[in-house]
C-alpha cells in the first residue's frame, strides 16, 4: 500500500527515466530493465501496488501498459481510477499498433523485424513481452467507458526513421466520478469484444478472462 503525500504523482515502470516530483516505481534493477541501471524510488511489482482512494494526482506510465494482458490491463485502469483524486491525470504511452502496421507489408525484413520487436516486446526478460496492441482508436474507445475524460493524444516515434510508432494519451478523472459498478460492467463488456463468436468454447474463454479480471481487481493485500 502506497502512503502517498498530498497530490502525489506516481511514475510506474520508470526504467532509467527517473522523474523529479514523481514517485518512480520499477522492479529491482536486476529484475527490471536489461541494463540493470534503473534506480527507482520504490522497487515493486506495479500490479501488486495499491493506494488509498482519491490519493493520487497523476498516474504516469510510458511503455509499461502493453506488458499487461488484456484482463489485467482493464483491471489496472479500474484500480488507477480509484487511486486518482477528482481531476487527477492519467498519462499513458505505448507502441501505436496502428502506426506500426501502416505500410508494414512493403518494408524489408530488417525493418519488419524491428517493428515486430516494438509490437511484441524486446523479450530479453520475463517481463519484456507485450500482451496487447494499443492505439489512439482503442484508447479513445476504452478509456471513456471506464470513466476517463478529456482525452488528448500525441503520436511520436522511438527511432529517427519513424518506424517505431508510439501513442501517448492524456486523460482525466472527472470531478464527478463514474461508479465502480459501471466501470466494472463496462470492462466486462470490453472483454467480450475479443470473443470469436458465441459458442461453448468461447464462453469458456470469456469466463476465464472474467475470472482473471475479477482477481486483478482486488488489491493484492486483500487477496486470500
Total residues binding ligand SAM (CB under 6 A) = 17
Decide if residue 114 touches ligand SAM (CB under 6 A). Answer: no
- The enclosing H or E element of 180 equals helix 180-192
Decide if residue 10 touches ligand SAM (CB under 6 A). Answer: no
> Which of 45, 154 has the CB closer to ligand SAM?
45
Distance CA 196, CA 193 (A): 8
CB-based contact 37:85 (threshold 8 Å):
no
Decide if residue 119 touches ligand SAM (CB under 6 A). Answer: no
Which positions from 124 to 153 touch ligand SAM by CB under 6 A, shown as an x/- string? ---x--------------------------
Helices (H) and strands (E) in the chain, counts: 6, 7
Decide if residue 90 touches ligand SAM (CB under 6 A). Answer: no
Decide if residue 27 touches ligand SAM (CB under 6 A). Answer: yes
Distance CA 190, CA 79 (A): 16
Decide if residue 33 touches ligand SAM (CB under 6 A). Answer: yes
Judged by phi (left if over 0) then psi (alpha if -120 to 50, else beta), residue 211 lies in alpha
Decide if residue 115 touches ligand SAM (CB under 6 A). Answer: no
Cβ atoms within 10 Å, residue 141: 12
Q: How far is the CB of 182 from ligand SAM (least distance, A)?
A: 27
Spatial strand order in the sheet of 42-43: 42-43, 23-26, 8-12, 56-62, 84-95, 165-172, 149-157
Distance CA 211, CA 188 (A): 10
Residue of 2, 42, 47, 184 that binds ligand SAM (CB under 6 A):
47
> Which of 36, 86 has the CB closer to ligand SAM?
36
Residue of 59, 64, 77, 187 that binds ligand SAM (CB under 6 A):
64
Decide if residue 15 touches ligand SAM (CB under 6 A). Answer: yes
Q: Which of 151, 127, 130, 156 has its CA nearest to residue 139?
A: 151
Residue of 8, 9, 24, 26 that binds ligand SAM (CB under 6 A):
26
Contact residues: ligand SAM, CB under 6 A: 13-15, 17, 26-27, 32-33, 38, 45-47, 62-64, 67, 127
Amino acid at each position: 500500500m502506497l502512503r502517498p503525500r498530498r497530490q502525489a504523482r506516481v511514475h510506474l515502470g520508470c526504467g532509467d527515466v527517473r522523474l523529479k516530483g514523481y514517485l518512480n516505481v520499477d522492479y529491482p534493477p536486476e529484475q527490471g530493465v536489461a541494463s540493470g541501471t534503473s534506480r527507482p524510488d520504490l522497487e515493486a511489482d506495479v500490479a501488486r501496488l495499491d493506494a488509498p482512494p482519491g490519493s493520487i494526482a497523476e498516474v504516469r506510465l510510458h511503455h509499461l501498459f502493453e506488458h499487461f494482458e488484456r484482463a489485467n490491463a482493464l483491471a489496472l485502469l479500474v484500480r488507477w481510477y480509484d487511486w486518482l483524486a477528482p481531476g487527477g491525470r492519467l498519462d499513458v504511452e505505448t507502441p501505436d499498433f496502428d502506426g506500426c502496421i501502416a505500410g508494414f507489408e512493403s518494408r524489408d525484413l530488417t525493418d519488419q523485424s524491428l517493428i515486430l520487436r516494438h509490437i511484441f516486446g524486446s523479450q530479453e526478460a520475463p517481463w519484456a513481452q507485450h500482451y496487447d496492441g494499443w492505439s489512439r482508436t482503442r484508447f479513445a474507445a476504452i478509456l471513456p467507458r471506464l470513466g476517463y475524460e478529456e482525452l488528448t493524444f500525441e503520436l511520436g516515434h522511438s527511432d529517427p526513421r519513424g518506424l517505431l510508432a508510439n501513442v501517448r494519451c492524456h486523460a482525466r478523472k472527472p470531478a464527478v466520478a463514474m461508479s465502480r459498478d459501471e466501470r466494472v460492467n463496462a470492462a466486462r463488456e470490453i472483454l467480450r469484444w475479443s470473443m470469436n463468436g458465441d459458442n461453448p468454447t468461447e464462453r469458456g474463454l470469456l469466463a476465464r478472462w472474467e475470472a482473471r479480471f475479477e482477481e486483478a481487481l482486488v488489491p493484492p493485500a486483500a487477496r486470500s
